[in-house]
Structure formats: structure tokens, C-alpha cells
Amino acid sequence: MASDKVQTVTDSSFEELVKGPTPVLVDFWAEWCMPCRRIAPTVERLATDYDGRLTVAKMNVDENPDVPMRFGIRGIPTLLMFKNGELIDSFVGADESGIKKMVEKNV
């Protein structure tokens, strides 16, 4: 990952990451997913632009199947936003402006 502001989250670290009052954006992706790769710079830029107001993390769905299954993720990229452990918003797809709008609405 190019940005040190983007965390890697796993099935075992997920609950701890999303439980706080700071909004958390989780990008569910896979190495083979070209749309996931296309939005990666946008996700990294959001982590930098909203540093201190938003936590940004990526979860590889091939390596971590439990959390994606729990949230019914069937297509990637899927981006979910959490606050205080609760899902507050979601976005499916590689539309960068849609991702930015979701973040702006929730931060």
C-alpha cells in the first residue's frame, strides 16, 4: 500500500477498528480486482485529506472471508463506513465521485 495512513484490517482486527467514535471507511478489495486497483489512489487520498477525522482501512476479501460474508458483500470494490461499531453507509463500485460524496456526507 502506498499510503501509511491506510490501515490493513483483518477478520480478527475488524471489531476493534470500527468500535470508536471516529468514522471508519473500510475498502473491501482483492488483488485481482481491476476496479479495486483503480480506486486505490482515491482511497489513499481520502486517508490523507481526512487524517484525524476519518480512519481508512482496506480488507482483502480473499484473505478475510468472515467479515465480508457477515455484511453480505458480493461484489467488489465495496466501501463501508462505520461509526461506534455501527454500519452508517455503504458504496459499491469504482465511481470516485460517489465514494468522495459518501465520505463527505459522513465525516
All structural domains of the chain, each given as residue ranges with its CATH number in brackets, are 6-106 (3.40.30.10)
Is residue 36 part of the annotated active site? The answer reads yes
Is residue 33 part of the annotated active site? The answer reads yes
pLDDT at 1: 44
pLDDT at 4: 85
Please tell me whether residue 27 adopts helix, strand or coil conformation: strand
Catalytic residue among 9, 24, 25, 33: 33
pLDDT at 3: 66
Q: What CA–CA distances, in Å, run from 71 to 52, 68, 83, 90?
A: 26, 5, 15, 10
Catalytic residue among 6, 18, 36, 54: 36
Average pLDDT, 10 consecutive residues per value, the chain (107 residues):
82 96 97 96 96 97 98 96 97 95 96
Cβ(91)–Cβ(36) under 8 Å? Answer: no
Looking at the chain, the number of H-run helices and the number of E-run strands are 4, 5
